[in-house]
Amino acid sequence: MLKNTVDAVQKLKKINILVGAMTRCFSTKPSILTSDFNIQILEDAIEIHIEAKVFKLPLSHVKLLPSSLSSLGITNRWISFRILTQPNSLYGTFETEIINTENSLTSSFSSYSNKVEFPPKNTACKFYCKCCKNVITKTVCFQRILPLPSSDCDPQEWFCCKHSGEESFSLDPKETDLFYSINYSVLNKHVFVENLKFKNSIIHCNRCLSILGSFDGHETKSLKIWNCCVEYKGSNDSISKRISSPLCDFLSSVKTTAELIIGEKILLEAQDVNSLHYILLRPMEAKLDLFTEDKEHFDGQILDLKSSSVVKVLYNYGENKKTIKNNDPDTKHCELALPSILAGMDQLVSSSTRFPPAYRRTDEFYIGYLII
């Protein structure tokens, strides 16, 4: 099987091709020799000849310029090169650019946001630890399920009449309220049963010790619970339901925190018992078409490609004793659950394997894709 990656930047009218021979199906040699290799560029496909075998890569999505091949490199069992594409009417020509007002990036991320499923209003339910199914709340019936305002919102804007600047505003929910943000929910402290453990601002399940959320102090009236760490079950349900997945929360957090423009820096942090895990992201290309192998439709010679909309990023992972969000005031910051950070890293590391080893890293950052 070959691992194929077609990185298409439509507005620049170029695509990067990365082909990795992951098995011995095309050659029994440890590396591809130049003498055994030939490549033919057609308008709608690429033919790669290795020894006596031919591998065809259909590219009906774009029109290639056959004479434009450049940057050809062969390293061990990796082949990489660049090809120019003919102008696409969707994007205009070199003289005229067509601007599409529909934000496909936002709509793609919205598909993940729509996967967040809170308990229905006016329905009795209980919350459970997702890991060990330990009951963490008493039976509760939410009458209000409302989004929390963003951190940039001025509390004075919440009211139609002016309030005193010295007046404090409270967002503590009642026992019948559920307030939510991109990756967590805020519930009244009194809806929880004594199956939680509180230590150093972290909320643990007292059975499996999984981290379920955080709190501001023992005098607080509400608790912050990570959506991907809990499940709920209605009084008439036979099985529990999850609110969201760790990867869903990771991708939604990235989109909500940042504009995903070149030069932007995004810091994602998750608190563990004795340390903070972090991922630092720097977008390289925010709207990229990525074509990868469709393993379900491979006949040994012709490999169909499936398309994904991705963000190409530089990323760095690390651990610290305390937050590093104040190290750079221009860095966007978001706190996540630890499973979300780990799910995001899994996707980033997996995407990095699509690059030849020599091109996976630049300085202290790795290169990867976030499939959105």
Confidence (pLDDT) at 105: 41
Quote the pLDDT of residue 81: 86
Of 46, 61, 93, the one marking the end of a domain is: 93
Residue 193 lies inside a defined structural domain of this protein:
yes
Q: How many CB atoms are closer than 10 A to CB 363?
A: 7
Whether 298 contacts 8, CB under 8 Å: no
Residues 269, 238 within the same domain:
no
pLDDT at 102: 44
CA distances from residue 73 to 5, 25, 45, 80, 82 in whole angstroms, order as listed: 15, 20, 19, 5, 10
Residue 104 confidence (pLDDT): 42
Residue 157 included in any domain: no
Q: Quick one: 205 and 222 in the same domain? A: yes
pLDDT tens for residues 159-169? 556 555 555 55
Q: Judge residue 110's burial from the number of C-beta atoms within 10 Å of its C-beta, 0-12 exposed, 13-18 middle, 19 or more buried.
A: middle
Asked whether residue 30 is assigned to any structural domain, the reply reads yes
Q: Are residues 371 and 249 in the same domain?
A: yes
Q: Would 81 be classed as within a structural domain? A: yes
* 325-358 burial code (b ≥16 CB/10 A, e <16): beeeeebbbbbbbbbbbbbbbebbeebbebbbee
Q: Are residues 143 and 219 in the same domain?
A: yes
Same domain? For 1 and 89 the reply is yes
Q: Which domain holds residue 295?
A: 104-115+245-372
185, 143: one domain: yes
Report the alpha-carbon distance of residue 245 to residue 251 in Å, rounded: 10
How far apart, in whole angstroms, are the C-alpha atoms of residue 361 and residue 322? 26
Let me know whether 266 and 357 are in one domain: yes
Does 279 lie in the same domain as 240?
no
Residues 211 and 289 in one domain: no
In a domain, 165, yes or no: no
pLDDT for position 313: 95
- In 3D space, the residue among 356, 265, 353 whose CA is nearest the CA of residue 315 turns out to be 265
**Structural domain tally of the chain?**
3
128 within domain boundaries: yes
Residues (pLDDT < 70) of the chain are: 1-4, 8-14, 20-35, 88-114, 151-170, 295-300
C-alpha distance from residue 25 to each of 157, 256, 268 (Å): 64, 44, 41
What is the reported pLDDT for 96?
Answer: 41
Does 6 reside within a domain?
yes
Do residues 238 and 279 both lie within one domain?
Answer: no
Confidence at residue 107, expressed as pLDDT on a 0 to 100 scale: 41
The whole-number pLDDT of residue 164 equals: 58
CA 36 to chain centre: 39
CA–CA separation, 161 and 266 (whole Å): 36
Say whether both 239 and 303 belong to one domain: no
CATH number at residue 240: 2.170.150
Q: What is the pLDDT of residue 262?
A: 84
Are residues 230 and 268 located together in one domain of the fold? Answer: no
Which of residues 185, 213, 244 is at a domain's end? 244
